[in-house]
Amino acid sequence: MTGSEAPVRAAVAADVPHLSHVLARAFDHDPVITWMFPDGTARLRRAQLTFAVVTGGLHLPGGGVQVATGPDGTPAGVALWDPPGRSSAPIGRMIAAAPALMRAMGRRAWFGLRFTAATEKVHPTRPHWYLATLGTEPALQGQGFGGELMRARLTDCDRDGLPAYLESSKPANIGYYERFGFTVTGEITLPSGGPTIWPMWREPR
């Protein structure tokens, strides 16, 4: 099976442990993750714990998380989408997830809060689908799993006349998202010596 043939399905709670490992490995060298977790020896573990809380506690309840399955039927890629009106988790859900997030991030939790504050400050208010995270198992990157996940949700956007929004954490990924119709709308420089990220918007087609 190739990435272009990969089936895409909605994630369920039982997927969360596997998805958190996929995302932690996919983002091990990402500028935002290395800023949050500069200790390379602890980064993978901290990132996996954090992605588990974020995926299962904040995004999965919204119903937008999707999985692309690999040749062996296990998750090869994951997209953490939030549907219109739910790009920010309800306050009750955030409060419920806060203790687990604090344990997952440890002393670096403050950086997670600063990231959220910086991105929420410029987050669009117009109803849209929000792509919070897109990641593929490193050994399977370049095989089309991410593209399949993008097309699956953007097809919904176009059918329903809804825009989409994301933040690219790498300049090298901007061109990738532009191929799907996204356009850079500005820059966000994260505080405390953090990297620059690029918000991107896509109108429905």
d(CA 61, CA 116): 19
d(CA 96, CA 92): 6
Residues 153/177, Cβ–Cβ less than 8 Å? no
Residues 50/101, Cβ–Cβ less than 8 Å? yes
Where b means 16+ CB within 10 Å and e means fewer, 143-180 reads bbbbbbbbebbbebbeeeebbbbbbbbeeebeeebeeb
The predicted-structure confidence for 113-166, as pLDDT tens digits, reads as follows 899 889 989 999 999 999 999 999 999 999 999 999 999 999 999 999 999 999
The predicted-structure confidence for 161-197, as pLDDT tens digits, reads as follows 999 999 999 999 999 999 999 999 999 999 989 999 9
Give SS3 for 103. helix
Residues 66/150, Cβ–Cβ less than 8 Å? no
Quick one: which of 47, 98, 91, 82 has its CA closest to 153? 82
Fold classification of 3-151 is: Aminopeptidase (3.40.630)
166 phi and psi angles, rounded to 5 deg: -155, 170
